């Protein structure tokens, strides 16, 4: 994993990061990574978000048997059930 060094961090900002790290039970380094990731994600444009979502949908495509009707699926589930044990009600 890569390493970066941040210089000239304002003291007030460092205190805020340390406070957040304590609250979230993370190290200062882990908290800084989480904050950087969150900041970059917030800058993601609508187009980038759309492209990422489309890529995810393409990856999932074909994962469902869409040629089988819902009623057929339900019937298959009930047909596969066992009767269970006998009991008096």
Query: What are the residue boundaries of the structural domains of the chain, listed by start?
Result: 11-80
- Which phi-psi region, left, alpha or beta, contains residue 27 (left: φ > 0; alpha: ψ -120 to 50)? beta
34 CB burial (10 A radius; 0-12, 13-18, 19+): middle
pTM above 0.85, yes or no: no
Q: CA separation (Å) from 55 to 52, 60, 64?
A: 5, 9, 17
In the block, which residue shows the tokens 């009991």?
A: 87
Can you give the pLDDT at residue 21? 96
How does pLDDT run across 12-32, given as a tens digit for each residue? 999 999 999 999 999 999 999
């Amino acid at each position: 994993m890569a390493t970066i060094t941040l210089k000239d961090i304002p003291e007030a900002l460092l205190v805020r990061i340390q406070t957040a790290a304590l609250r979230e039970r993370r190290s200062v380094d882990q908290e800084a990574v989480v904050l950087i990731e969150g900041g970059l994600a917030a800058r993601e444009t609508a187009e980038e978000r759309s492209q990422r979502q489309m890529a995810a949908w393409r990856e999932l495509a074909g994962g469902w048997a869409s040629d089988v009707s819902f009623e057929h699926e339900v019937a298959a589930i009930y047909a596969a059930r066992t009767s269970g044990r006998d009991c008096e009600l």
